Structure 1
Amino acid sequence: MNFHDLHRPGDPLLLPNAWDYGSAALFAAHGFPAIGTTSLGVAAAFGKPDGAGATKAETIELVEAVKDLDVMITVDIEGGFSDDPAEVSDLVASLAALGAVGVNLEDGRPDGTLRPIGLHQRIIEAAKGHGVFVNARTDTYWLRTGDDVRDRVAAYGHADGIFVPGLTDLAEIAAVAAATPLPLNVLHQPGGPTPAQLAEAGVARVSTGSLPYRAALREALATVLAVQGRPAPPTLTYADIAALLPRPR
């Protein structure tokens, strides 16, 4: 079965997201057929800001490290680490040569705006043709830009999949899934819709994003605090981790 075949509306692929060799190997050892990378985890591991296009080399390094694991790898490349379609094409080609089966390409920018639709369409097109699954992510909900998500979903119809992180309302999820022939990917949210509810809404892929990384850091901190008899910390949010990282230059 290839990576595309794992995307079945109504029977979604659960995609754990890894940030280093150990986490990828652990997920692979527990039978997950595919894993993704998490840009936050990779950025934090190398002391760089997330979502700022600062971790291209580190992302490639991670794929090189995990390429021999018996698992499919799809790679979070933020916005492609460039606004130049030719550079994005070269990057995706290099990742495909390492064995990556997919990439995530987001339209969100570090300043909280969205990449212009026409430019992101060209970026998606540049990533195509290298034999990988191009998952077009739109950050309309993530960044709360007020843009109509269905306009973006329609515009990215030449991708292989659509990813809308931050989308949690089941009726809206079902509407978005029905509005595109492409498999819909959503982000798992603790306390949000269950896998069964997402399946019923037509979701084809559920990503864990930075949640496993944040859970690992919380558990590490809780372990150390327990030595001192101190209480465990609350769940760490994306903002908690991002606040620890250097600011984009």
Structure 2
Amino acid sequence: MTSTTSDPRPSFHRLHIPGDPFILPCAWDVASARLFAEAGHPAVGTTSLGVAAGIGAADEDRATLTAMVAVLRSIRRALPEALLTCDFEDGYGDDPAAVTDILREAFSADGAGSPREGAGLRIEGINIEDSARGRLVEPRALAAKIVAIKETFPGLFVNARIDTYWTGEDNLGDTLERMRCYADAGADGIFVPGDLDLAVVAQIVDASPLPVNVLASPRYSRTQFAEVGVARISTGSLLYRAAISAAAQSLNGLSEDRPAQTANVLTYRAVSQLGD
């Protein structure tokens, strides 16, 4: 990813280059975040599913706010110079003023660290979505939250997540209408998760005035997404699910009387150092 030194935008914003998407790995604890940062990724996000599962809660449950905040504060302490973005679900509230208060209380910089690019926050970006508990809400509800957030934290990258396809309402027209609404409200990026056909992604990109974010796909590579103009590819919960799936497979092998499979597994010492 390249950018000119004269670009006045914060560095996290500058990562979003249509046609040259960066991979955003989503962490669920300090060890995973450090692993992703040490692999050379320029920014790290969080997975709400991974954080929720870690405390035995359902994803998209507002009760996970405390756990998400704790994870991100720990990651910030471990990676003080990293670019971090948070899965902020639906803002953990309905009232726009309450959402900005939550954001301020959760992530305001204090004596433990200097203000970040998000205008005094410990993070550089958030995803905020237009569904709650698996159901779409009216687009004006998210638009009002975006307006309030950008007025309070103008430097924060607000990625507006459109959950039409995620909730099974595969309506391109509604998606584009919501996209325009959120762009007008001041969003910095658009995120449309789901197993979208590449042709649909291309239509969204062509219509979008903002950088477009998609989920990593089992059907399309980074190069294919780049060719249609995507700016960011998020792993979402994929890496967390891959990790626990590998653990289950390893345990299954032991249960079937096979020796432990340690090939391509990080050593105890290597993982221990991730927590230092």
Q: TM-score higher than 0.5 here?
A: yes
Partner Cα distance (1:58, 1:149) in 2: 31
Aligned to 2:234: 207
Aligned to 1:196: 223
Aligned to 1:38: 47
The structural deviation recorded for 1:96 is 4.9
1:50 is paired with a residue whose SS is coil
Which deviations, in whole Å up to 9, do the C-alpha atoms of 1:161-182 show, x marking residues without a partner? 0000015211111111111110
Partner Cα distance (2:166, 2:51) in 1: 19
Matched, 1:57 2:66: yes
1:202 is paired with a residue whose SS is coil
Alignment of 1:149-164 (within 5 A): 149-157=175-183, 158-164=186-192
Select the residue among 178, 182, 187 that pairs with 2:210. Answer: 182
- Structure 2 counterpart of 1:143, one-letter code: T
Partner Cα distance (1:83, 1:223) in 2: 43
Which deviations, in whole Å up to 9, do the C-alpha atoms of 1:109-130 show, x marking residues without a partner? 21x3211111111011122131
The structural deviation recorded for 1:49 is 0.8
Distance 1:35 1:229, change over 3 A: same
TM-score norm. by structure 2 comes to 0.79
Alignment of 1:16-35 (within 5 A): 16-35=25-44
Distance 1:96 1:10, change over 3 A: farther
Moved more, 207-216 or 69-78: 69-78
Aligned to 2:167: 143
Determine if contact 1:96/1:132 at 8 Å carries over to the other structure: no
Aligned to 2:262: none
2:132 is paired with a residue whose SS is coil
Matched, 1:89 2:100: yes
Structure 1 unaligned regions, length at least 5 = 232-249
Structure 2 unaligned regions, length at least 5 = 1-9, 110-120, 259-276
Which deviations, in whole Å up to 9, do the C-alpha atoms of 1:64-90 show, x marking residues without a partner? 101130421100010001011112112
Alignment of 1:96-111 (within 5 A): 96-97=108-109, 98-110=121-133
TM-score norm. by structure 1 comes to 0.88
Aligned to 2:84: 73
Larger Rg: 2
What is the identity percentage for the equivalent residue pairs of Structure 1 and Structure 2?
Answer: 46
Matched length: 229
